[in-house]
A and B are shown apart, each in its own frame.
Chain A
Amino acid sequence: MSDPTVTDGPTGTGEPGDRWGGSVSAAVPEAGIPPTEPPPPEEGTAGATFVQRGDRIFRFLATGSGAFVVALIGAIGLFLLIQAVPPLLQNNANFLTSRQFEAGDPNNLHFGILDLLLVTVEVSIFALVLAMPVGLGIALFLTQYAPAKVARPFGYLVDLLAAVPSIIFGLWGLFVLAPAIQPFALWLQNTLGWFFLFSPGNVQIAGATVFTAGIVLAVMILPIITAISREVFQRTPRTQIEAALALGATKWEVVRMTVWPFGRAGYVSASMLGLGRALGETIALMIILAATPAIFTGSLFDGGATFASKIALSFAELNNNLSAGAFIAAGLVLFVLTFLVNAAARWVIGRSGAKA
């Protein structure tokens, strides 16, 4: 790994090229080598100026891309902030603790994000709770259990889920899934209604609830979790698996002792990315979730709106900057929330990287 010639090679392609050639010819003053040595330095120097130019261009492009993305995110954050401040200053309700979001009248703004935040978090977490075990199962099946002939097309199939437009998921959720799971939802309410998660909700439209929305979201984030986990599990060193097998481990023990410890961090970060996707999902939730003037009680059978769906519901008809700004302020909170989730995912990945 730390062979000096290899490490020297790349850095030495520039001006040290002839020094290297010289030192070799000095160290090995044999007749056969010097005649063949001089040409490489010439090619080396000619190539070096070329590589340097390419280097500079490539470096510029790469740095530019990196800087561009940072600038873009910064600009988006700044835009959100600039738009959000004026309505926040004129807000007659507490932005963080009020449960009503009344931003239609620019002269009388009353908007608070508490319910939006709670619904967004609850529906996303619920989706994650459903999708994480299933995603893990699919990824393990595809990498460890399924024969290659099945795994490949099956993998494509799961990835295909990611290609279904979210509006289709929304319509499917409301028109097909919601009526189908309604008996189960009612059973949950009747038997576990004493627990706040399953208490009867605050909307009367059958199935237009966090429960249905969460299941749909789970299906939507499944391909993300599966795809990344599959990649990670596939990279489990073959030697470790074989060593475990050689020790007489069963398939399950192989998974538990080698694949899982190796891929756990990747799986968690895949789930975090899925969570980020769930937090920002808009159209499907807009279609499924029923709006309600009642406050959010925390039940899965409540309606309500998430940050993104609330913005989408109102944005088309906004005609003044203050009202729009109020929604942008809500968007800013979502921006921060998503950022935190992704930062957490990064942190998990980074920690596992240090460990490996």
Chain B
Amino acid sequence: MLSIKNLHVNVDEKTILKGLDLDVKAGEVHAIMGPNGSGKSTLGHVLSGRDGYDIIDGDIQFQGKDLLELETEERAREGLFLAFQYPVEIPGVSNMEFLKASVDAVREHRAQAPCDAVSFMKQARAACKEVNLNQDFLKRGVNEGFSGGEKKRNEIMQMMLLEPTLAILDETDSGLDIDALQIVADGVNSLRSAQRGFIVVTHYQRLLNYIEPDFVHVLANGKIVKSGDKSLALELEAKGYAWLEEEVA
């Protein structure tokens, strides 16, 4: 469903991604690991269409479409979801308004009628419960005053409501305690299906104990330098990243 070829990306005229290739098929979970500064988060931002990331070379196909030709909101409507490493606080816009606006936009794109307010409220409350967020959160401003863990769980809740085809989790495990990690992982695992793909970006192997990947890739110095199965993650945990960077160099 996602095919990235030879992706080169500049940020502030500095090349961050230097020829990244990645293929994700429906039903697969890909973990992308790598040292700080290797370009892991850049990948998520580029896929989401954030400003300030210049694609200088390469191609991204998503569900048979040229992803780079689509606006950010069109990508989301086509089924791409990015769980942010640092979700944005938007005071004054309630979580509920925000969730309804986004679910309606995606439904409209799929030629489905907008949810009526009552049934959506039910759905949202159920999703809250699944990620163990108090329902009061629906009334509060988007992520306003949420703790780090609450923000991450809010991301997972949005993912559940939007039912994306491809979800990218950008360091969703950072700043989570074990209980929150379990909740986040349960949320992801509940959505795993033969129709859906995941890219799990993480610095640590820990998350992969909870979300078992089909493939593990190591991103270093702007490209994928090694790919393997989940045992690669354990090897990285034991040996660190330095040996790989040396191997590549």
- Tell me, yes or no, whether A binds B: no
